[in-house]
Amino acid sequence: MGDVIGNILPLALGVAISPVPIIAVILMLFSGKAKVNSLAFLLGWVAGLSAAFWIVYAVASAADVATSSGASKGTAVLRLVLGVLLLFMALRNWRKRPGPGEEPEMPKWMSAIDGFTPHKSLGLAALLSGVNPKNLVLTLAASMAIAQGGLATGEIVISFAIFLAIGAATVAVPVVVNLVMGARAEKTLNAWKAWLTENNATVMFVLLLVFGVVLIGKGISGLV
């Protein structure tokens, strides 16, 4: 179990480092429905990650990746493909980074956050966590790592809980800070938002590059 957790920890951290969702939840905390929308967003984030994880885990278990050598080779190839995909995404983020003096470009839906309903907040978070390409790739890799571990049911649940807790931590922190500090949190949250907005492209480039190389390495190792 220790090896499996060691494999999924960096993947969970990669999911957690997602500047756009963190900015989104901070904006919600300054909206007219701050508490209910931010909690709905956090719930949607957890639900999206959970759904993506268990769907992939069920498929991997059905393919018997823990014991079948053919399935293990297929998993290695998939890791290789996912790694190349992450490198491609890293290149796109590098090319999209703002030039000196340029305003960072953020998703257009952010301007409408103030008018979001709880249902829309929940749905958006589920999409950002479960369908977002970067998170989906990392969740796929984590699910396969656990499926290949040959773990008992309790160990599988614990491994998933660790992945989920880390993967949702950065979205949960602004919500908790706001609940604990109230109005005093505004300055801190604004500073976080400004830094993440300014450095979004660079953070994503480094993150995607590192995890792309890691998955390619694991894929090659599995094949040879």
For residue range 12-28, list pLDDT tens digits in order. 999 999 899 999 999 99
What pLDDT is attached to residue 43? 96
pLDDT of residue 127: 92
When divided into structural domains, the chain yields a total of: 1
pLDDT band at residue 156 using 50, 70 and 90 as cut-offs: very high
CA distance 105 to 196: 12
Amino acid 117: pLDDT = 92
Q: What is the mean pLDDT of residues 98-109?
A: 75
Closest CA to 177 of 168, 186, 166: 186
Tens digit of each residue's pLDDT (9 = 90 or more) over 51-79: 999 998 888 777 665 555 555 677 788 88
Torsion of CA 170, 175, 178, 181, to 10 degrees: -70
Segments forming the whole domain that contains residue 184:
2-223
48 pLDDT band, cuts 50/70/90, is: very high
Q: In this structure, are residues 56 and 144 in contact, taking their beta carbons and an 8 Å threshold?
A: yes
Q: Is the pLDDT of residue 170 over 90?
A: yes
Q: Which residue has the higher pLDDT, 184 or 164?
A: 164
- pTM score, whole prediction: 0.85
* Average of per-residue pLDDT across 80-103: 84
Instruction: Output 33 or 160, whichever has higher pLDDT.
Output: 160
